[in-house]
């Protein structure tokens, strides 16, 4: 199951719709952890044992042999099975929703399913790994406490579950961490240390500062317990959508996709697991090409939760063995996916959490026949909903621009009374709503009786934008349009 060559911009195997959706509803290994009221007593006893401090060594073994995992991999399916038992009373079994609107939008006669991981108490899937890692500590480690470096979701998850389990937690957060997340961590009663300009400086401080000596450092995406905890989502997916064809997973440090791929491929090898990374942080793509984790050049991205320059070494070994492909998604589609979820599903999801949907939107990197096949059932984990309100406003505007519902142009009008009024009246007659308008005289290198006007207009979409353009052109306006959402103004534009 090793990675193969790139196909149409996707690193991995060719994507072909499965020939049949017939398959076992769920293999025994997933079914035994459902935790229903009818759970046999022997399994209830196993659950009790798994919740003790020494669960890592004393958890009750299943009464049947677990599906095999290659011995050279650092995480096994048994690790995920135990984690499922261990954490199930402390996390939310997030809902799975079939989206009629997004299925129609993406041209899928079958289904797009959304797993609502943003409904966890702290707003992200990170709780799965955090709780599992904390519950695997021995008594001495619990007393000394744990430490982690994080700018957001991992810190929140550790803070909350550390408080619930009575384990001292210290989180080192870079100074760029959103104030709302810093304050939430403090509200949970944990020790918050702000240090460094970025996450790597925070991590160096957490692992080397003498005052933290003796604390167990918990990596947010590469500890075995973290990957195993994340893998429990894969088992839930198979319970909720037994005949799933594709699972499209956002990728940051690769812990989530490694866990999901290991769980699902062990139980149902025919399911394809695909990763999605932002163009501005292609760390898993770079690692797969190099055959090992390497540093990837990164730029600030709307999917800030996925901005991990180097994937985890443990997670990479699992992902390399089980993941079917990885694609890169642009900022335009990340913004558009946040907008689509807000408008169509009433879900507030952060950029990283929405990246899986971004990949399958029309025009996205996974908008290909394999996923649009009539029998395809696609599951997308919405991994987090912790987006700051000011950032959400900017992302919505970018999404509207990507959707051609927010357009901008530059033109010139007569610098006489009524010149600007004529332009605004023409826009109104064409059905446009002016969002912003600016006029410029001092730096205009044309006739002295002209003034340059820069306008941002709300429209109903691309067709309306074209009709607005034709209407203004018919009235003699010479316009330079700019709607480049990928990185600045167009070459002709003079913003």
Q: Which residue has the tokens 């025009």?
A: 363
Average pLDDT over residues 265-294: 96
CB-CB contact of 254 with 284 (8 Å): yes
CB-CB contact of 83 with 56 (8 Å): no
pLDDT tens, residue by residue, 343-402: 999 999 999 999 999 999 999 998 877 666 666 899 999 999 999 888 899 999 999 999
End-to-end Cα, the chain, rounded Å: 50
pLDDT tens, residue by residue, 286-302: 999 999 999 998 888 99
Give the whole-angstrom CA distance, residue 250 versus residue 278: 9
Nearest Cα to 79, choosing from 116, 36, 128, 45? 128
State the pTM of this model.
0.82
Find out if CATH 3.40.50.1100 is the number for domain 126-217. Answer: yes
Angle at 239 between CA 234 and CA 245, to 5 degrees: 65
207 pLDDT higher than 60 = yes
More confident residue, 310 or 15: 310
Lowest-pLDDT range of 39-43, 58-62, 122-126, 374-378: 39-43
The greatest distance separating any two alpha carbons of the chain, rounded to the nearest whole angstrom, comes to 89
99 pLDDT higher than 50 = yes
Average pLDDT over residues 112-134: 97
CB-CB contact of 482 with 489 (8 Å): yes
pLDDT tens, residue by residue, 8-24: 344 555 444 444 344 44
Give the whole-angstrom CA distance, residue 241 versus residue 95: 11
CB-CB contact of 322 with 262 (8 Å): yes
407 pLDDT higher than 90 = yes
Lowest-pLDDT range of 17-26, 101-110, 237-246: 17-26
**Domains 126-217 and 404-482 in one fold:** no
Give the whole-angstrom CA distance, residue 473 versus residue 479: 8
State residue 444's pLDDT score: 67
Domain 73-124+228-396, CATH number (from 3.40.50.11710, 3.40.50.970, 3.40.50.1100, 3.30.360.10): 3.40.50.1100
pLDDT tens, residue by residue, 316-352: 999 999 999 999 999 999 999 999 999 999 999 999 9
State residue 223's pLDDT score: 95
State residue 388's pLDDT score: 86
Exposed/middle/buried for residue 232 (C-beta within 10 Å: 0-12, 13-18, 19+): buried
Averaged pLDDT score across all residues of the chain: 84
Give the whole-angstrom CA distance, residue 13 versus residue 265: 15
Q: Work out the number of other CB atoms within 10 angstroms of the CB of residue 394.
A: 12
Please name every residue paired with 106 in a beta bridge, in sequence order, or none if there are none: none
State residue 275's pLDDT score: 97
Domain boundaries, the chain: 73-124+228-396, 126-217, 404-482
Confidence of residue 122 (pLDDT cuts 50, 70, 90): very high
Contacts of 389 (CB under 8 A, 6+ apart): none
Distances (CA, A) of 384 to 65, 156, 262, 352: 34, 12, 21, 7
pLDDT tens, residue by residue, 442-483: 666 667 778 889 999 999 999 999 999 999 999 999 888 876
CATH topology of domain 404-482: Alpha-Beta Plaits (3.30.70)
């Amino acid at each position: 199951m090793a990675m193969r060559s790139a196909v149409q911009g996707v690193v991995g195997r060719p994507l072909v719709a499965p020939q049949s959706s017939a398959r076992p509803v769920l293999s025994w290994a997933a079914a035994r952890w459902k935790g229903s009221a009818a759970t046999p007593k022997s399994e209830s006893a196993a659950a009790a044992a798994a919740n003790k401090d020494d669960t890592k060594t004393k958890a009750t073994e299943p009464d049947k042999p677990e599906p095999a995992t290659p011995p050279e991999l650092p995480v096994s399916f048994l690790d995920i099975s135990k984690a499922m038992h261990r954490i199930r009373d402390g996390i939310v079994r997030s809902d799975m929703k079939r989206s009629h609107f997004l299925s129609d939008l993406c041209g899928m006669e079958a289904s797009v399913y959304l797993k609502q991981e943003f409904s966890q108490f702290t707003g992200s899937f990170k709780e799965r790994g955090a709780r599992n890692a904390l519950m695997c500590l021995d008594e001495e480690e619990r007393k000394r406490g744990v430490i982690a470096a994080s700018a957001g979701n991992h810190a929140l998850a550790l803070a909350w579950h550390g408080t619930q389990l009575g384990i001292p937690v210290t989180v080192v957060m870079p100074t760029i961490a959103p104030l709302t997340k810093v304050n939430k961590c403090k509200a949970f009663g944990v020790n918050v240390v702000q240090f460094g300009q970025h996450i790597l400086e925070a991590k160096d401080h957490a692992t080397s500062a003498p005052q933290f000596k003796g604390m167990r450092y918990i990596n947010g995406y590469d500890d075995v317990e973290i990957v195993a905890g994340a893998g429990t989502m894969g088992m839930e997916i198979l319970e909720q959508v037994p005949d799933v064809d594709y699972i499209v997973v956002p990728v940051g440090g690769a812990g989530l996709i490694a866990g999901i791929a290991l769980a699902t491929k062990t139980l149902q090898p025919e399911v394809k697991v695909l990763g999605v990374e932002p163009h501005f942080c292609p760390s898993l793509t770079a690692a797969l090409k190099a055959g090992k984790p390497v540093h990837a050049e990164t730029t600030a991205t709307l999917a800030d939760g996925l901005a991990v320059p180097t994937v985890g070494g443990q997670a990479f070994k699992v992902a390399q063995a089980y993941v079917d492909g990885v694609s890169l998604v642009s900022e335009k589609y990340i913004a558009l996916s946040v907008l689509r979820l807000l408008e169509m599903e009433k879900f507030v999801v952060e950029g990283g959490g929405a990246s899986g949907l971004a990949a399958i939107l029309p025009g996205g990197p996974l908008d290909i026949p394999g996923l649009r096949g009539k029998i395809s059932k696609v599951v997308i984990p919405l991994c987090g909903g912790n987006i700051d309100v000011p950032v959400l406003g900017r992302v919505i505007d970018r999404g509207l621009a990507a959707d051609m519902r927010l357009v901008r142009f530059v033109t010139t009008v007569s610098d006489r009374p009524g010149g600007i009024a004529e332009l605004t009246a023409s826009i109104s007659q064409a059905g446009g709503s002016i969002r912003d308008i600016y006029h410029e005289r001092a730096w205009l290198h044309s006739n002295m009786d002209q003034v340059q006007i820069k306008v941002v207009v709300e429209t109903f979409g691309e067709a309306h934008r074209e009709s607005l353009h034709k209407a203004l052109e018919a009235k003699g306006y010479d316009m330079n349009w700019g709607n480049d959402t990928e990185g600045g103004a167009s070459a002709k534009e003079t913003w």
